[in-house]
């Protein structure tokens, strides 16, 4: 269970004051930029090859972040026509350090006792391409993405190890990053607090995305029409997948199965988000305003 200072979530960039570069490190072409669409600071990491530029937390490899939340959230966008690489160092309950890496450079899944390498299929790839598991340079229209990694499940599925904590993160070129977060809660984008209450999502461990971690949605727009949401491993899958990609079709939603046992958090489909929005409009005489 996360310590009190890590609940209900921990905004990693804010907590470790990334912009001061005292508890974080950067190498190569790493720049803080103001993004008018996302209404805040983002970090651009670019270089001639993915390992040449990076943002690293904590600053020294001998230190540990010590973050125990089940889910790691990465809000990022691969740079178009480029390859990117991300390394996560996690510690097991028996103090073994395991590196989890994902990249659109990787052609296939590889595994050792201390290293898991997952190919990443950019969400803008076509449904057919994603199903075939084709990786490669990010397409021109690649979207901002909310990637949710279930770290205990990854270690359990692929290495049969028990998760202890997140030790370190290394974000390598070429990508844009808005934020990193850890939490034991499964945050669902595009759902407001009132919609979550109406659907009693909290009983299933699902919560609306915190404002400071959310992508903005202009009034009249829908989150899933603007951004990609990838949860890995995908909820309900029986066998481990060999790459990280947007799910096709979208996962079965909670409202479709009211009697479903509450053994595992769930992901809402776009259709259910639309239904939640409709429910909220019916129960409120006023038009629903955009949550951000």
> Is residue 2 scored above 50 in pLDDT?
yes
Q: How many domains does the chain have?
A: 1
More confident: 94 or 202: 94
Q: How far apart are CA 55 and CA 20, in angstroms?
A: 12
The 10s digit of each residue's pLDDT in 85-128 is 999 999 999 999 999 999 999 999 999 999 999 999 986 444 44
How many whole angstroms separate alpha carbon 14 and alpha carbon 6?
12
42-89 tens-digit pLDDT = 999 999 988 899 999 999 988 999 999 999 999 999 999 999 999 999
How far is 83 from 68, CA to CA, in rounded Å? Answer: 29
Higher pLDDT, 35 or 131: 35
Structural domain boundaries, residue 221: 4-232
With a cut of 70, say whether residue 276 has pLDDT above it.
no
Sheet strand arrangement including 115-119: 25-27, 54-57, 163-172, 85-92, 97-103, 115-119, 110-111
Q: Can you tell me the mean pLDDT for 179-184?
A: 96
Residue 184 lies in a domain: yes
In a domain, 67, yes or no: yes
The backbone torsions φ and ψ at residue 151, rounded to the nearest 5 degrees and listed phi first, read: -65, -45
For residue 269, tell me if it sits in a domain.
no
Residue 34 within a domain: yes
Domain assignment present for residue 268? The answer is: no
Residue 283 has pLDDT above 70, yes or no: no
Characterize the bridge pairing of strands 97-103 and 115-119. Answer: parallel
Question: Is the omega angle on the peptide bond into residue 101 within 30 degrees of 0, that is, cis?
Answer: no
Q: Are 205 and 106 in contact (CB under 8 A)?
A: no
C-alpha–C-alpha distance, residues 183 and 73, integer Å: 8
The pLDDT value given to residue 61: 83
pTM beyond 0.85: the answer is no
In a domain, 129, yes or no: yes
Domain annotation covers residue 170: yes
Task: Give me the pLDDT at residue 109, please.
Answer: 95
* Model confidence pLDDT, tens digit, residues 217-260: 999 999 999 999 999 998 655 556 789 998 754 433 333 333 33
Residue 133 covered by a domain: yes
**What is the dihedral sign for C-alpha 199, 223, 16, 184?**
positive
The whole-number pLDDT of residue 238 equals 56
pLDDT, mean over the chain: 82
pLDDT tens digit string along 128-165?
444 444 678 999 999 999 999 999 999 999 999 999 99
């Amino acid at each position: 269970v996360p310590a009190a200072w890590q609940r209900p979530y921990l905004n990693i960039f804010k907590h470790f004051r990334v912009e001061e570069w005292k508890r974080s490190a950067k190498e190569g072409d790493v720049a803080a930029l103001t993004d008018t669409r996302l209404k805040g600071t983002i970090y651009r990491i670019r270089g001639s090859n993915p390992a040449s530029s990076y943002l690293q937390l904590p600053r020294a490899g001998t230190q540990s972040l010590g973050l125990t939340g089940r889910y790691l959230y990465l809000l990022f966008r691969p740079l178009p026509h480029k390859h990117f690489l991300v390394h996560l160092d996690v510690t097991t309950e028996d103090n073994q350090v395991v590196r989890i890496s994902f990249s659109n450079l990787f052609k296939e899944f590889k595994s050792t006792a201390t290293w898991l390498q997952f190919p990443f299929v950019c969400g803008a790839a076509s449904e057919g391409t994603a199903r075939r598991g084709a990786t490669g340079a990010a397409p021109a229209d690649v979207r901002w993405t909310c990637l949710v990694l279930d770290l205990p499940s990854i270690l359990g599925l692929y290495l049969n190890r028990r998760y202890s904590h997140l030790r370190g993160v290394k974000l390598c070129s070429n990508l844009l990053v808005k934020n990193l977060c850890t939490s034991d809660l499964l945050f669902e984008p595009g759902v407001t607090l009132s919609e979550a209450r109406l659907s009693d999502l909290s009983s299933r461990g699902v919560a609306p995305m915190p404002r400071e971690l959310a992508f903005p949605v202009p009034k009249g727009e829908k989150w899933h029409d603007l951004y990609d949401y990838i949860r890995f491993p995908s909820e309900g899958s029986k066998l481990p997948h060999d790459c990280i990609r947007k799910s096709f079709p979208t996962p079965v939603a909670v409202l479709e199965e009211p009697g479903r046992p509450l053994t595992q958090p769930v992901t809402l489909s776009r259709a259910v988000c639309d239904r939640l929005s409709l429910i909220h409009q019916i129960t409120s005489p006023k038009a629903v305003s955009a949550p951000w």
